[in-house]
Structure 1
Amino acid sequence: MRQETIDIAIVIVSWNVWDLLRACLHAIEDQTESTPNPQVRRFGPHGEATLRVVVVDNASQDATPSLLSHRFPWVQGLFLDENLGFTGGNNQGLRALGLLDGPVDEEAGLPRFVYFLNPDTEPLPGSLWALYRGIAGDPTIGAIGPQLRYGDGSLQSSRRRFPTRLTGFFESTWLERAWPDNPWARRYHVAEWSPQTRQDVDWLVGAALLVRGEALAAVGGFDEGFFMYSEELDLCWRIKAAGWRVVYDPAAVVIHYEGRSSEQVAARRHILFNRSKVRFYRKRFGPLWAELLRRYLLFEYRWQMALERLKWLLGHKRSLRQERIAAYRAVLEDGLEVED
C-alpha cells in the first residue's frame, strides 16, 4: 500500500546543544498541528501541508539522548554511536527518509522536500509555510532558503555567489579584515543586492536550507568528505549543475544563534573550516589552486600566531592569547591536507 506523501521532512543534526535544540523544536511545534499519525504534523493557514522531523544526534554527552523522545514524542530520533559530522549526520537522516543509497521507492511516501535545519535555529512563525509556498509551485527551484537573523535580530549574511579562484584568499582571512570592502568578498556576499528582495543566488548558508527531494536523490546528498563547513556550498553547486535554481526568500525569517556546536572545540573549528575550503577548491579548481590556497592559509596562521605571541609578551589579555596560539598551532600541525 502506498504511504501518505510527506510535504516536508526536517532533518536536524545535533551535538551537545540540548537547550538550543529544544528551543528549535518548540518553534517548529508552535507553527504546526498534530495529526492521528504521531510522527506527522500539519502546517499552513488551513493545515494543508504535512511535516515530519528527524533529529540525528551525533553521540551527544548532554541531555539530548535521554530527553528528546520524552519531551518531543512526535520527533524521530536517530542516536549515533560516534560523531559523523554535519554531513554524515544529515546523510543518516536522508537514509532514514529513503532518499539515499539505492533506487527511490515510489510507494514509500517519501518527502517532497527536505528542510535542513541547524539545532541553533528558531524558525519564526509563518516561515515554514512561506518557504514551502516559495518552492512548491515552481519545479525549476531545487533549493530555497530564508533570511537569517542573529539572536539580537540583526541581519546575518546568508546569500552567496560561487567563489572565484581569488575569493578564498580574500574571504574569512586576514586580507578581508585588512580590506573588508574588497571586490572579491563583496561579490561573494552579493553585496550589491538588497537582502529584502527575493532573488536567485548561487548558494545559501546551510543553517536553514529547504531542498527538493528529487534534487537530493539526483545529486546524492552531502559529500561526507566535508565533515562540516562548505558542505552546503558543494551541495548547491551540484544542484545548480544538475539544472535547478537556488533561491533566497526573505518572506521567511529564521533566527540563527551561529556556531554554538562548533565553538565547543575552537581549534577543531579552525581546522575543519579551512580544510573544507581547500577541499572545495580542489574539487572546483583543481589541485594546483587548492595547494596555493592551502599554503597561503598556513602562512597566514604563522603570521597570526607571531602576532598573538607578541601581544602575550606585552601582557595583553594573556589567557585569550594562549587560547589563540594553541588553536593556530593546531592548524599548523594539521597542515590542512585534504583527500580527494
Structure 2
Amino acid sequence: MQLSVIILNYNVRYFLELCLHSVSKSVEDLDAEIIVVDNASPDGSCEMVKRLFPDIILIQNSENLGFAKANNQAAKIAKGEWVCILNPDTVVGEDCFKNILKYSNSIKNLGILGCRLMDGSGNFLPESKRNIPTTKISFQKLRGNSDLYYANHIKENSIAEVDILVGAFMLLKKSLYEKVGGFDEDFFMYAEDVDLCYRVLNAGYKNIYYGEESVIHFKGESTIKDSKYLKNFYGSMQVFYKKHFRKNVVYDIAVWFGIRLVPIFKKHKDLEKIKTKSAVLVSNLRLKNLQENLEVPLTQLETISSLANDSTYIFNVESIPFKSILKCINKGASLKNSNFRFYMPRSNFIIGSDNSNDRGQILFLKD
C-alpha cells in the first residue's frame, strides 16, 4: 500500500466531514487508506464517519488521549509505505497526494515533507515553515516577535529544505516514523511536531517544505487561542527544551510570567463577522431553497473567471473539483469584505471560516 492518511479528530464533526470528502477524492487513484482517530468527541463525529464514510478505518477512543498518543495509535495499524498526519480542519485538492508522493519518491534521504497552508480566505499561514525554536527565538515569540520563529527566508511558493514543519500536514515514510519512535507521548498537545521534526533532523534526514502544493487549514476551529492555549503551548515548549537543550531558568521564569500576564494585556477579541452584499453559488446543479436561507441576493455560476469584493462564494463540493476551489480561494486573499463557503449536499449545510483566528461558521439549510 502506498499511503495511509491519519486524521486525529476531536469535536469538529462538520469540518471533519468536509476534510474526509476532499481526502477521499484525493486518494481515489492511489493504493491508500484513511484512518480517523477520534478522541472521545461528544458531537456525533463517529456516527457521521460510520454513516457517510463506511470504508474509512475508525478508531474510537473512550477518552482524549492527546495528539501524540492518538496519532501513534493509528500509525501502529497503518499499512502504507508513507503516512500523512493530517488535521481534521483541512481541505486538500484531488491531485494533492499524487503530487507530493511523486515528488517525495524522487528525493533521497527525505525526512518529513510539508506543504503550503492557507486559511479559509486564502491567506498564507507562516507556520507552514519554521526555524528551530531555540530558547532565544521562543522567548522573542513570547514577547510577540515571531520574525525568527518562522522560516521567512523561504518563499511561500518555493521548494526548500526547512527545519520545522507543522503537524497539520506532515508526510513521511512509516519506516522513518517507527525508526525515530513516532510522536513523543510526553507531549499532550503542541510542540509534538517540533520535537518530531527536530529528531528527524538529528537522525540525519532532511525536511522539505513543498510550497507548490496548497492545502486549506481552517486552524481556528480546532485551536482556540486563550489562556489555556498559552499554558499548553509554552508548557509543551518547556518539555521540548528540557529534552533537547540545557535547562534555562530565565526562560522558565519568563514563560511562567508570560502565561499569566499575556491573557491580561492581550485579551481575545470577538471577531467582527464579514457582511457581504451578494452571494454566488458555484455549481452546475440547482439547489432548491438556497436563497431562502441567505440574507443577500444569490446568483449562480458554473465556473468563475474573476472574483469581486463584497461577495460570498459558495462552492458545491459535489460538482466543483476541490483543486479548482482551492485555486479560487488562493486568489481571494486580496479581496475586500469577501469570503468563501463549502456546500455539503449530503448533510445539507454550508461551512467556512474567514481567518485563522475564527472558529468557523456553519449554516444549516432549511428545506
TM-score bucket of the superposed structures, by smaller chain? 0.7 to 0.9
Question: How many residues are aligned here?
Answer: 268
C-alpha spacing 1:160/1:8, structure 2 compared with 1 (3 Å): same
Match of 2:39? Answer: 58
> Is the counterpart of residue 223 in structure 1 residue 218 in structure 2?
no
Equivalent position of 2:242 in the other structure: 282
Query: For the Cα contact (< 8 Å) 1:131–1:145, is it kept in 2?
Result: no
Amino acid at match of 2:75: L
**Aligned match of 2:197 in 232, 236, 251?**
236
Matching residue of 1:46? none
1-side partners of 2:172 and 2:35: how far apart? Answer: 15
Are 1:124 and 1:255, in contact at CA under 8 Å, matched by a contact in 2?
no
2:169 maps to which of 208, 221, 225: 208
Q: How far 1:187 sits from its partner (Å)?
A: 3.1
Q: State how far apart, in whole Å, the 2-side matches of 1:162 and 1:93 are.
A: 27
User: Residue 252 of structure 2 corresponds to which residue in structure 1?
Assistant: 294
Corresponding residue number in structure 2 for 1:24: 19
Which position in structure 2 is the counterpart of 1:147? 116
Structure 1 position 166 matched with structure 2 position 127: no
Quick check: 1:128–1:252 contact (8 Å CA) kept in 2? no
Calculate percent identity across the aligned residue pairs: 30
Paired letter, 1:12: I
Q: CA deviation at 1:306?
A: 5.5
Letter in 1 for 2:3: I
Cα gap change, 1:302/1:242 in structure 2, threshold over 3 Å: closer, same or farther?
A: closer
- After the TM superposition, which residues 161-200 of structure 1 pair with which residues of structure 2 at under 5 Å, given as runs? 161-171=131-141, 173=142, 175-176=143-144, 180=145, 185-200=146-161
Report what 2:315 is aligned to: none
Matched, 1:95 2:64: no
- List structure 1 runs of 4+ shifted beyond 6 angstroms: none
* Structure 2, unaligned runs of 5 or more: 271-367
Whether the 8 Å contact between 1:151 and 1:255 is mirrored in structure 2 is yes
Q: What is the match of residue 121 of structure 1?
A: 90
State the alpha-carbon separation in 1 of the partners of residues 263 and 18 from structure 2: 38
**Paired residues for 1:123-138 under 5 Å:** 123-138=92-107
CA positional deviation for 1:193? 2.3
CA distance in 1, matches of 2:265, 2:193: 33
Which residue, out of 4, 16, 21, partners 1:9? 4
Q: Name the SS of the counterpart of 1:166 in structure 2.
A: helix
Question: Following superposition of structure 1 onto structure 2, how do residues 250-329 of structure 1 map, counting pairs within 5 Å?
Answer: 250-263=211-224, 266-287=226-247, 289=248, 291-304=249-262, 307=265
How far does the alpha carbon of each residue in 1:52-97 deviate from its partner, in whole angstroms, 9 at most, with x for none?
0100000010111222122101210000011001111101101222
SS of the counterpart of 2:147? helix
CA contact (8 A) 2:227 2:260 kept: no
Q: CA deviation at 1:242?
A: 1.0
Cα displacement string for residues 197-217 of structure 1 (whole angstroms, at most 9, x for unaligned residues): 100001101101101112111
Shift of 1:267: 4.1
Distance 1:31 1:169 in 2: 40
Q: Residue 82 of structure 1 corresponds to which residue in structure 2?
A: 63
Q: Show structure 1 runs of 5+ residues with no match.
A: 1-5, 34-41, 44-49, 98-109, 318-340
TM-score, reference length from structure 2: 0.69
SS at 1:92's partner residue? helix
Q: CA, structure 1 residues 32+77, in 2 after alignment: closer, same or farther (shift >3 Å)?
A: same
Corresponding residue of 1:37 = none
**Deviation string for 1:92-111 (max 9, x for gaps)?**
101222xxxxxxxxxxxx32
- Is contact 1:127-1:251 (8 Å) kept? no
Task: Tell me, yes or no, if the aligned pair for 2:69 and 2:185 is still in contact at 8 Å.
Answer: yes
Are 1:7 and 1:112, in contact at CA under 8 Å, matched by a contact in 2?
yes
- The separation in 2 between residues aligned to 1:304 and 1:230, in whole angstroms, is 19
C-alpha contact 1:112 1:212 (8 A) present in aligned 2: yes
CA RMSD of aligned residues (A): 2.0
Residue 164 of structure 1 aligns with an amino acid whose one-letter code is T
TM-score of the two chains, using structure 1 as the length reference: 0.74
Residue identity in the other structure for 2:83? V
